[in-house]
Chain A
Amino acid sequence: MSTTEYSLEKRRTGIADLDRVTEGGLPAGQATLILGQAAAGKTVLALQVLARAIEGGEGAIFVSFEESPEQVRRDAASFSWGAELLASDRLQIIDARPRISAETAGDFDLEGLLSIVAAASAQLDACWIVFDGIDQLLQYQSSHKAAINQIRRVEEACGQYGWTLLLTGKATRDADAPAHLEGIEFLLSASIVLTAEIVKQQLNRSLRIAKYRGSGHIANELPMLIDDHGITLPYHYADENNDVEATNERLSVGIERLDALLGGGIYRGSSLLISGRPGTAKSTLAGGFAEAAAARGERTLYISFDELEGPYVRNLESVGINLGDPINTGLVRFQSLSAFAARVTEHFLAIRRLLDAFDPHCLVIDPISAMLKASATEGANMATEQLIDLVRRRGITTVLTSLSGEQDPEGEATQGQVSTLADSWIVLDYNVRAGERNRSLSIVKSRGSAHSNQQRELLLGNQGLDLADVYENGSEVLMGTARAAREREDAAAARRRWLEWQQRRKDLEQKIAQTDKERRRLEAMMELEEQEHKESERQDERTREQIKQRRDPELDSKTPDDDAKDRRDRD
């Protein structure tokens, strides 16, 4: 197998995180330089690559120029993959330590070594070769140029025999090459620099790909951890799931009225930050969320910083939230972590491993601010970004709580920018009024859903949490006793108004009754008057009749005038 300048082949190292940052592994059939000061993890990295190769059925050769084979075995045995590596007959460890008494008289080369390794690799069918601490041998070279030429020769041999080779060497922090091998970084197409430094009494490790010719790679200094599983780059885990479906499914946060305010709950797979001062019921709210998830039959990973399971569960019980049962049935996995026992990167890694092992639907971290306080050279930002990215990719609905200070709703979460990254943010607080503290809740943001921005009172009872009705009094929201007093006042006022209205109604009814009576009286009067009127008319009529009758002629005596008139009429 040979490689040309134009087609870079990569060989996976089997370390998922490293393969991710190198975009597929290290250059196959070539040498990669691994640099770092003492105890930076060079040998561990090399051994781990070999362990993965052995697991994958390949052969591996470890040539040690610095440590005895026994020491190398001890190194490997302390890791989870060590036993399998050491038990394999496809691994050969070659003790190539220069003799202590050795002297130099003129030029020498590594032809002998290359020949030995070639024979061994042919026998084992080994593709991965490690030259660990080659600078130990090359320091015997008479000149710098001669040493560099040896490296060039090693690189040639890789192409010739199809080896993918790791070359480790010591270097100070800023150097790109071991002290007497300056210039080899130009020779090889890839180099990785490991560092380990003490910051705030904490050992901070990092890995940087200083060079990778012809390949895309992440060039930043990446936080690195070494634990039982060897080397990990916690923030560069190969999580391939890049297109998470955004669902419209809403999950209850455990309080019906709060769900309503959030437009039906929080979206599945979203993240919710609950921040507030101590004692504002953050844990209670978080616990309620986990309880609601368990009621749906979903698993929740519950991470508590600096608070043990027993007291935590008991405290929640006192406000009517039962985590004990779901913990017993295995729906809730409660994990207590000590914030200051580890660095933020280690916490992140621990959480990632718990997520891998438990595969929950929901995650609660109470409080994430404690985790962010754990010191490290890498900022808390990275941890939160990575964490929120991780849960998002996996579709895990996440509730994070954060401690905040007076007049500072973001508080400690600011340093991790959690409030920026989270999809929804609820702020809990106290309102002090009339000598009384009352808990309040307001929704600061909730991405992708309409939500109420009204501050509300949060009620804690032994039945759990609830939200009280909003009592607006002018421009403020009344809570607690003030609200109760106001409620009573309002009720009394309402009753008064009702009574007044009843009274008024009676009055009016009476008035109507009275008016009715008067009307009847007047009607009667009118009727009477009408009758009287008719009567008098009849009287008048009769009178006129009587007068007429009295004027009858037979009864009347005529006057002379009348006689005369009568005569004229007859003529």
Chain B
Amino acid sequence: MPLLILFVTGNAPRTQRARANLAKMLEQIGRGDLGPHEIDLLKQPQEGLTYSVFATPSLLKTDDGGGGSLLYGDLSDSDRLHRFLADLAMT
């Protein structure tokens, strides 16, 4: 079960921004090791139903219970993203 799943649509500009923003932030908090799993809803629309994720791009942080928390957007709001990933940060 991947820890982070990034839902994207092909190579749309927002998708590209989201990838870059996420990679940058993970680097920043010292978790470059976490390779986020990508689901392309254009290729695998069923996965959207499985995870109940419809807005793209969006970042799903799964927990052990199978649920998780979701962050919509291209992750350009770095403060928000930072808070969202805070519990994964290396201490």
Question: Inside 8 A of B18's CB, which chain A residues have their CB?
Answer: 106
Residue of A nearest to B73 (CB): A106
Q: Which residues of A contact B69 (CB under 8 A)?
A: 99, 101-103
Known: A96-B54, A103-B84. A112 touches B70 (CB 8 A): no
Asked if A119 contacts B45 (CB within 8 A), the reply is: yes
Assess whether B77 is interfacial by the CB under 8 Å rule.
yes
Known: A102-B70, A113-B55. A107 touches B76 (CB 8 A): yes
CB distance from B83 to the nearest CB of A (A): 8
A104 contacts B80, CB within 8 Å?
yes
- The chain A residues found within 8 Å of chain B, CB to CB, are 94-99, 101-113, 115-116, 118-120, 137, 140, 142
Asked if A111 meets B77 with Cβ closer than 8 Å, knowing A102-B72, A103-B84, A104-B71, the reply is: no
Residues of B within 8 A of A110 (CB): 54-56
Contact B56 A109 (CB under 8 A): yes
- Taking the closest CB of chain B, its distance from the CB of A496, in whole angstroms, is 105
Of all A-B residue pairs in the complex, the 8 with the closest CB atoms, nearest first, are A106-B73, A106-B76, A112-B41, A112-B56, A113-B54, A111-B9, A105-B80, A119-B45
> Are B46 and A112 interface neighbours, CB within 8 A?
no
Task: Find chain A residues with CB under 8 A from B78 CB.
Answer: 105
Known: A108-B14, A111-B41. A99 touches B52 (CB 8 A): yes
Q: Check if B57 is an interface residue, CB within 8 A of chain A.
A: yes
The smallest beta-carbon distance between B55 and chain A, in angstroms, is: 5
CA distance A98 to B69 in the complex (A): 11
Which residues in B have some Cβ–Cβ distance to A below 8 Å?
A: 7, 9, 12, 14, 17-18, 21, 41-42, 45-46, 48-49, 52-59, 69-78, 80-81, 84
In this complex, the member of A98, A110, A120 whose beta carbon has the largest number of chain B beta carbons within 10 angstroms is A98
A92 to chain B, nearest CB (A): 9
10 sampled A-B residue pairs with Cβ under 8 A: A99-B69, A102-B71, A102-B72, A104-B72, A104-B73, A105-B75, A106-B17, A115-B48, A116-B54, A137-B54
Please give the distance in Å from B5's CB to the nearest CB on chain A. 12
Distance of B63 from chain A, by nearest CB (Å):
11
Bound Cα distance from A346 to B78, whole angstroms: 57
Per the bound structure, the CA–CA distance linking A97 and B48 in Å amounts to 12
Task: Verify A112–B48 contact, CB threshold 8 A.
Answer: yes
Residues of A within 8 A of B76 (CB): 105-107
Scoring B46, B55, B59 by chain A CB atoms within 10 A of each residue's CB, the highest score goes to B55
The answer to whether A112 and B84 touch across the interface, beta carbons within 8 angstroms, is no
- The answer to whether A115 touches B72, judged by C-beta atoms less than 8 angstroms apart, is no
Task: Report the separation of the CA atoms of residues A94 and B17 in the bound assembly, to the nearest whole angstrom.
Answer: 28
